[in-house]
Structures are given as structure tokens and as C-alpha cells.
Amino acid sequence: MALDTTSLNPGVGGSKVLHDSLTTADGGAAPTSAVAPIHKLAFGDAGDARQVSPSYGFPVGGQPAGYAPSYGSASGDGGSLAFDPSGQLVARATVLTDEGTARVNFANASLSVGIGSPTMGGLRVTGFTAGSDVHAGDYFKYDGDAESSWARIDGFDSTGAIVLESNYSGFPSGTASRALVKPFTGAGGALAVASGDTGVPVWGVRRDALTTSSSAAADYNEFAFNRFGAAYVTDFRLLARTYRALTAAFTLAAAATDVWDLFGNVTTTVVVTRIRVYGTQTTGGTADIRVRLRTTANSAGTRVASTVVKLEQADAAASSTPGHYTANPTVGTDAGAIAGGVIYLPAPANGVGFIELALGDKGKGVVLSGTAQGIAVSLGGTTPTGGAIGIEVEWYEF
């Protein structure tokens, strides 16, 4: 077997092997093609090398690259060749990014690449642009058809025509495209790719210290482990936009019902994690505090909005705002008490009493979705004599 020229193009669709003299297993001359992918070599699972389609069965040296993304014939009997330290041939390869991850290196900004205006006859596609980067295992579709029309390419016949794996379901007319992987959303056109990242399995990267690292567009990152092999995992709640609000002590209304509330909004989901109530009264005594879940909004009354503080100043402003009442509201529909307790309110000269209610320490916090869902601090229609309380709340939004 004589190879006059070997042209490798890893990462953008596979290799082309061009030749003047190539002898098949039965001694005949193998057909040639201007497009050349009919001579693409591939590894079988048993380690033997072969052509993807058609197969002539001539042996070549090769080294399977088990970490690489799968790329072979539709029947699954092909795979990637690779250059190993002994100098064997790579016909298809992945690239390692600067973050150390393996991924397919797309040559274009979208999954689909135009290949001209071919003609279809049965399973065969002819007349596509000469030199098109088309390979067995790619997907084919006419641009005017829906995404569901993508058909997988089984290989090529002896004339260089594309052979599809199954009948094409769209309308075979106009310009067409091939895609390295099958797009699955939209209705025609191209699907954007984030920096060429296709979500293939990757090696973890060892990080003995926390390091800020990501792609240039910050749209993907490495999967990192420490030196003991444990993966770095961050609790979502530590990254969510978190807020606090504190009301100064205020005088309670007579026969106080809801003295404070926080409702959801139409933009974000609100998760309340902690409420703290503190206060005094003229003569030391107890008060029964309840946190109640409302499923319709409070109305009327005199409500004073609290000042909301972002715990990270780079975060967006909160979409929900708590507030307290100096005149009783018309309370919304009650879904029950979710927390509460008896608080001792001392005389002002003797300090301040408080109770802290953790709402998310043993699981998820109180989730408020939409403007009808909220929580309220209620005294249930009783007012401590000369009572004044303040309320602190913490929540996050996403």
C-alpha cells in the first residue's frame, strides 16, 4: 500500500487520505474521490482498522483514544485513530482547551455548515459542494426543513455520494447543511454553540487551592477536584442573590393581626430562610408570635416598606420588599402557621427580648412564587401594652 499524500485536519471534521495507489484486500485498486472521505480510516472495537464505508479490510497501525468523543460509522463499528508516541496516525481527534478539558473543536459559530444545493435520490445525496467537510456519522438536512428532518449519514458510496442511514423525512429542495452533532431545537436554521463546547465527558482538573478559571466567554468551566480526589461542589444558596431587611422598633396597632409581611413577585422566586423578632413592652411579659403562610395578598392597612440591603453589591436589586403595619391590614387567605413561639418582652429599661425563627436550616426555605404567596408575622389579634417590636428577615431570589 502506497500513500503519496496524507493530509490531517483534526478537530474540524476528520482526516482526508489522498493517494495515487491504494491496493484493496482482493488486489484491486480502491476507487478515489475528489471529496476523499470514502478513504477515511477508522478503528473497530476489536482493535482492527478499517474503512468506514465502504470497507476494504486493509490493516493499518493505530492506537484507540478512549477518552475522546465517539466519532465513527452509523453502525458503531468505527472509532478514532490517534497519533501515539510511536508515531501512529490520527484521523480524528479532540483538542484540549486551555482549561484542560477535552471537547470537539467546531470550526464555525453554529452546529450546521452549508454544503451547497445537492440532489437527493432515495438514500443517496449527490451534487454537494466539492471539498465539503462531510463525514460518516454527521447529520444532513435541507435548510428549509424543520429540525426533526435531520438524517444521519451512514457513509459514502464508490462515487463519493452521501448515503443516508434512513429515508429523508423533509422536502429535498434548495440549499442543505451538515452538522457534526444533531441539533434538537428551533425550526430550521442554525443552532448557536457556546464556544464549541458539546458537553462531552471530560477529565477532572486537580486544584489544591480555589482558583477562578473559566472559558474566555465565561460560558463553561472545568470540573475540579482537590488532591484527595474529592470534587469541589458549591451550594446553590451560596451563589444566589441574597438580601436582608431590618425594621426599626415600631408601635403596634390595637388588636394587632399581621404586623409584618413579605410577598413574592412576578419576576423571581423568593426563598425566605430566617426571621428574627425583637421587642419590648411597658411592663415585662410574654407575647405569642406566629409566622403564617398567606396564599392571597394582604390589603388595606398602613404598610411601611423596609429598606432592603444586598449582601453582595454586584447583585441586582431585590424584586420583593418586606414591610410592617402600623394599622392592621385585611389579611389574605391563611394557609397555616409555619413557625412561631412565645417571646418575653421586657420593659425598655431591662433590655430587649427576641426570638429567631430558622426557616431553611433543615431543608428548603419558605418558597414564594408569585404575588399571591407570602409570609406574615402575626400576633393573632392581641397587643402587648405599650408593645413595640422590630423584625429582621433574610431571603434569596433566583
SS3 assignment for 20-76: CCCECCCCCECCCCCCCHHHCEEECCCCCEEECCCCCCCCCCCCCCCCCCCCCCCCC
User: Who's near 254: CB < 8 A, 6+ residues apart?
Assistant: 383
252 and 163 inside one domain:
no
In a domain, 64, yes or no: yes
46 lies in a domain?
A: yes
Overall average pLDDT of the 27-31 stretch: 45
Whether residue 37 is found in the same domain as residue 135: no
Is the pLDDT assigned to residue 177 strictly greater than 60?
A: yes
Q: Is 230 domain-assigned?
A: no
Helix (H, G, I), strand (E, B), or coil: what is residue 239?
helix
Do residue 275 and residue 388 come from a single domain? yes
Q: What local confidence, expressed as pLDDT, does residue 19 receive? A: 39
- Whether 163 and 154 have beta carbons less than 8 Å apart is answered as yes
Q: Select from 138, 162, 179 the last residue of a domain.
A: 179
Q: What pLDDT is stored for residue 110 in this prediction?
A: 66
Answer yes or no: is 219 within a domain.
no
Query: β-pairing, 388-397 with 270-280?
Result: antiparallel
For 147, list phi and psi in degrees, rounded to 5.
-60, -25
Mark whether 170 and 245 lie in a shared domain.
no
Residue 193 covered by a domain: no
pLDDT single digits (tens) 316-352:
999 999 999 999 999 999 999 999 999 999 999 999 9
Assess whether 333 and 274 both reside in one domain: yes
* Average pLDDT rounded to a whole number, residues 166-184: 86
Q: H or E segment at 391? A: strand 388-397
pLDDT of residue 118: 93
276 and 380 part of one domain:
yes
> 101 in a domain, yes or no?
no
**Between 121 and 201, residue with greater pLDDT:** 121
Q: Which domain holds residue 357?
A: 241-397
How distant, in Å, are the alpha carbons of 138, 143, 311 from that of 155? 9, 21, 58
Asked whether residue 89 falls in the same domain as residue 119, the answer is no
pLDDT at position 182: 79
Tell me if residue 149 falls in helix, strand or coil: helix
Measured CA to CA, the distance from residue 18 to residue 36 in angstroms comes to: 7
Q: Regarding predicted confidence, which is higher, 92 or 127? A: 127
**pLDDT at residue 280 greater than cutoff 90:** yes
pLDDT at 171 over 70: yes
Which among 128, 151, 179 is the end of a domain? 179
pLDDT digits over 47-62, tens only?
A: 444 444 444 444 444 4
Residues 132, 8: Cα–Cα separation, whole Å: 15
- Distance (Å, whole) CA 77 – CA 51: 10
pLDDT at 366: 95
Report pLDDT digits (tens) over 128-153: 988 777 888 889 999 999 888 999 99
Boundary residue ending a domain (140, 161, 179)? 179
CA-based end-to-end distance of the chain: 63
Tell whether 364 and 293 lie within a shared domain. Answer: yes
Which residues are paired to 277 by β-bridges? 355, 391
The CATH number of whichever domain residue 280 belongs to comes to 2.60.120
Domain count, the chain: 3
DSSP secondary structure letter of residue 90? P
Are 327 and 263 contained in the same domain? Answer: yes
What is the pLDDT confidence band of residue 107, given thresholds at 50, 70 and 90? Answer: low
pLDDT of res. 220: 67
Residue 269's pLDDT is 95
CA distances from 28 to 16, 45, 293, 394 (A): 21, 27, 82, 79
Within-domain flag for 185: no
CA 8 to chain centre: 33
Residue identified by cell 415600631 is 250
User: Is 107 part of a structural domain of the chain?
Assistant: no
pLDDT at 43 over 70: no
Quickly state the pLDDT bin for 214 (edges 50, 70, 90): low
d(CA 381, CA 388): 15
Note whether 296 and 369 are same-domain residues.
yes
Pair 88, 34 in one domain: yes
Query: Same structural domain for residues 87 and 118?
Result: no
Task: Confirm if 285 and 345 have CB atoms less than 8 A apart.
Answer: yes
Task: Map residue 295 onto helix, strand or coil.
Answer: coil
State the pLDDT confidence band at 180, using cuts at 50, 70 and 90. Answer: confident
